Chain A
């Protein structure tokens, strides 16, 4: 199978088949990660630019590792060390980088739509590593990969996204992806952190976490995006934790074995208590490992690879 799009900008924009292609391809790369020699020559001679206009640890390192494991040449650019401070506009910055002959751009930016802007002005393949509150497609792909690996399928699985849905690109990409794959999606959080009309995306809205836990196969627990919020959307972290925090006591209401996921970074004691984060329900670190495999798959497919690798 071949991935049919030039870019990976959002899961709202790609087909179920393309999502499956990525997930299947990632399976092979996941096995590579367990080999003693983890490097493949696949992207030899290709140049990938990691363009990070927003702070990131996990995603940036994960992409960088994925690129290195595929033998790509890498350029890292972060806003704090660039000409952004000299007043250059984004389009000029990226055109200059592109003029140095690059093949792919991985971009993270606080403004939704920035990957679209790059796709309009550059010839390179664009991979969205998170654009504001819009999408974070590789995160959702690695979440789906992890669920599929653990539960064997996505269709018919009930996934609850818990927390700050309004400001979460992870939630948006998960909703788009999971719905396409036939999962049931619940969102749960304070009413001020659930965006209007979200139910039109086919999700069910809850404000009481204790009603959600007994129905769920997966809890994907989101961080409070304090840096993206207007002030005053909820009264206090204390109240948030008391009503929406995932604790060991709450998990006793589960009716089946629950997968606990979190895209990180975690605020322990706020949205998730330590004894949940570190419990054997938690697949949080496996998500991180799978992230490298999924990103390898995306890079490989965008470079023209087919899903049957050897």
Chain B
């Protein structure tokens, strides 16, 4: 067993985009623009100047062969832990951005459970400075409460003015219903969602995995699904009462999906995201005690997993977000109960969507593009990238048919705590284009 991750890939940054670039022969999917056909795209100085039929011979510029590939508006992962500042040994804004680009994302939202947490103007500015000029846009999410203590509201108006796109105490739930109520009320003034990590900690303390038959067989303490559902239920009621916008992070249970579905039908302002590991794996993955199956919320029952997939299919769940949570090898090689919660996700999300949702569950890539490239922007009130003449080129190019094997050495994340190492996936990132830069995936 290796004690360190050998990064054999020498890529350390993004390349400038050629002055003129032709994306030749790709299937362009732009749900917003109602496009799904084979089209050529010409980019000049980082801007799309033509979408149509363009002859390759005689084209004055570089050509990227996109035949058999999909060209989509740039993907946004709205739930990522970049670990900087505080735990730069696990990930930094730079390495997390590279991992995002490698996985097919042109944007990420970073969660504020850093050390110090993102609860001040200075911290928002720090994130912006550290990510400035990169291909990948980094959108900070600010804390709901000062110092993530769950006691007093942070300075939400100022944080949003400075650039926070949402507020969340992710990593911990807001246990106080009173504080959650006030967060939903107060954030209404600046129209940002309150992202809830839904877990009643009085029920989950000391737990290591989903409470069920497998936790009983393995002798591990359980974290029951109802602990998540109670909080989703509470926060839907609070969103209804206050008129605030509530977004459920990493929705993982069947009843949770039902609660969101009913709330949406009643017109309550609630949105939700789910992770690739929750739609791909169930609690049985923990058999054998691989600590890369330990995350929060935990891998649930098969019934829960299938309900999450149905939620993604019928629009109850708006977005796929990875909850990318890097941890070092030495922390994850610990005994199961001592290993920290969390798995990396940026570099396997596209392949897992292609494998589990498209190949096995017969989703159309249009649906996947909506879940990754449209709805996350909409939830956060960010402009949705489009494949259209005159628009800035913010694109994700991927091969829907390519199969590949997940290898830790190919990850650009500093960490490789993935339960999918060695898996064969269908659907592979090819390149991302944004901010007049290009990055070709090395997976």
Interface residues of A (CB under 8 A from B): 12, 89-91, 109-114, 116-117, 120-121, 131-135, 169, 172, 195-198, 200-201, 230
15 contacts between A and B (CB under 8 A): A12-B217, A90-B335, A111-B338, A112-B220, A113-B220, A113-B288, A121-B1, A132-B220, A132-B337, A133-B220, A133-B221, A197-B212, A201-B216, A201-B217, A230-B206
**Given that A91-B1, A131-B219, A132-B219 are known contacts, is A197 also in contact with B289, CB under 8 Å in the complex?**
no
Query: Chain B's nearest CB lies how many Å from the CB of A232?
Result: 10
Query: Chain B's nearest CB lies how many Å from the CB of A10?
Result: 9
Contact at B335–A114, with CB atoms within 8 Å? yes
Residue in A111, A120, A135, A197 whose CB lies within 8 Å of B216 = A197
Question: What total of chain B residues lie within 8 Å of the partner, measured CB to CB?
Answer: 23
**B-chain residues with CB within 8 Å of residue A117 when the two chains form the complex:** 289, 333, 335-336
A217-B323 Cα distance, complex, nearest whole Å:
52
From 297 to 354 in chain B, residues with beta carbon under 8 angstroms from any chain A beta carbon are 330, 333-338
**B-chain residues with CB within 8 Å of residue A113 when the two chains form the complex:** 218, 220, 288-289, 335-336
CB-based nearest B residue for A169: B219
From 198 to 215 in chain B, residues with beta carbon under 8 angstroms from any chain A beta carbon are 205-206, 211-213, 215
CB-based nearest B residue for A109: B335
Query: Chain A's nearest CB lies how many Å from the CB of B6?
Result: 18
| Among all A-B residue pairs, the 4 with the closest Cβ atoms | A113-B289, A134-B219, A111-B335, A133-B219
A91-B212 Cα distance, complex, nearest whole Å:
29
Contact at A198–B338, with CB atoms within 8 Å? no
**Given that A120-B1, A197-B213, A200-B213 are known contacts, is A134 also in contact with B218, CB under 8 Å in the complex?**
yes
Contact at B330–A89, with CB atoms within 8 Å? yes
CB-based nearest A residue for B208: A112
**A-chain residues with CB within 8 Å of residue B220 when the two chains form the complex:** 112-113, 132-134
A110-B335 Cα distance, complex, nearest whole Å:
9
A262-B386 Cα distance, complex, nearest whole Å:
70
**B-chain residues with CB within 8 Å of residue A90 when the two chains form the complex:** 334-335
> Contacts A111-B335, A113-B218 given; 6 further ones with Cβ under 8 A?
A89-B330, A110-B337, A112-B289, A117-B333, A120-B1, A134-B218
Query: Chain B's nearest CB lies how many Å from the CB of A160?
Result: 19
Give B209-241 as 1s and 0s: 1 = Cβ < 8 Å from A's Cβ atoms: 001110111111110000000000000000000
**B-chain residues with CB within 8 Å of residue A131 when the two chains form the complex:** 219
Interface residues of B (CB under 8 A from A): 1, 205-206, 211-213, 215-222, 288-289, 330, 333-338
CB-based nearest B residue for A165: B216
CB-based nearest B residue for A230: B206
CB-based nearest A residue for B339: A111
A135-B88 Cα distance, complex, nearest whole Å:
38
Query: Chain A's nearest CB lies how many Å from the CB of B219?
Result: 3
CB-based nearest B residue for A95: B1
CB-based nearest A residue for B337: A111
**A-chain residues with CB within 8 Å of residue B206 when the two chains form the complex:** 230
A112-B217 Cα distance, complex, nearest whole Å:
10
Query: Chain A's nearest CB lies how many Å from the CB of B37?
Result: 50
Contact at A196–B218, with CB atoms within 8 Å? no
Contact at A89–B334, with CB atoms within 8 Å? yes
Query: Chain B's nearest CB lies how many Å from the CB of A138?
Result: 16
**A-chain residues with CB within 8 Å of residue B1 when the two chains form the complex:** 91, 120-121
Residue in B216, B221, B334 whose CB lies within 8 Å of A196 = B216
Contact at A111–B213, with CB atoms within 8 Å? no
A172-B205 Cα distance, complex, nearest whole Å:
23
Contact at A198–B219, with CB atoms within 8 Å? no
**A-chain residues with CB within 8 Å of residue B288 when the two chains form the complex:** 113, 116
A55-B212 Cα distance, complex, nearest whole Å:
29
Most A C-beta atoms less than 10 A away, residue of B215, B216, B222? B216
**B-chain residues with CB within 8 Å of residue A135 when the two chains form the complex:** 219
A195-B215 Cα distance, complex, nearest whole Å:
9
**A-chain residues with CB within 8 Å of residue B334 when the two chains form the complex:** 89-90
A113-B208 Cα distance, complex, nearest whole Å:
12
**B-chain residues with CB within 8 Å of residue A112 when the two chains form the complex:** 218-220, 289, 336-337
**B-chain residues with CB within 8 Å of residue A132 when the two chains form the complex:** 219-220, 337
**B-chain residues with CB within 8 Å of residue A110 when the two chains form the complex:** 335, 337
Most A C-beta atoms less than 10 A away, residue of B218, B220, B333? B218
**A-chain residues with CB within 8 Å of residue B211 when the two chains form the complex:** 196
**A-chain residues with CB within 8 Å of residue B219 when the two chains form the complex:** 112, 131-135, 169, 172
**B-chain residues with CB within 8 Å of residue A200 when the two chains form the complex:** 213
CB-based nearest B residue for A131: B219
A168-B337 Cα distance, complex, nearest whole Å:
16
A201-B218 Cα distance, complex, nearest whole Å:
12
A213-B130 Cα distance, complex, nearest whole Å:
69
Contact at A230–B337, with CB atoms within 8 Å? no
A132-B338 Cα distance, complex, nearest whole Å:
12
Query: Chain A's nearest CB lies how many Å from the CB of B332?
Result: 10
Contact at A89–B336, with CB atoms within 8 Å? no
**B-chain residues with CB within 8 Å of residue A111 when the two chains form the complex:** 335-338
CB-based nearest B residue for A113: B289
Query: Chain B's nearest CB lies how many Å from the CB of A82?
Result: 14
Most B C-beta atoms less than 10 A away, residue of A111, A169, A201, A230? A111
Query: Chain B's nearest CB lies how many Å from the CB of A57?
Result: 22
Most A C-beta atoms less than 10 A away, residue of B217, B330, B336, B338? B217
A135-B216 Cα distance, complex, nearest whole Å:
11
CB-based nearest B residue for A90: B335
Contact at B212–A196, with CB atoms within 8 Å? yes
A121-B217 Cα distance, complex, nearest whole Å:
23
Query: Chain B's nearest CB lies how many Å from the CB of A113?
Result: 3
**B-chain residues with CB within 8 Å of residue A120 when the two chains form the complex:** 1
**A-chain residues with CB within 8 Å of residue B333 when the two chains form the complex:** 89, 91, 117
CB-based nearest A residue for B217: A12
Query: Chain B's nearest CB lies how many Å from the CB of A36?
Result: 41
Query: Chain A's nearest CB lies how many Å from the CB of B294?
Result: 10
**B-chain residues with CB within 8 Å of residue A172 when the two chains form the complex:** 217, 219
Contact at B216–A198, with CB atoms within 8 Å? yes
A234-B334 Cα distance, complex, nearest whole Å:
32
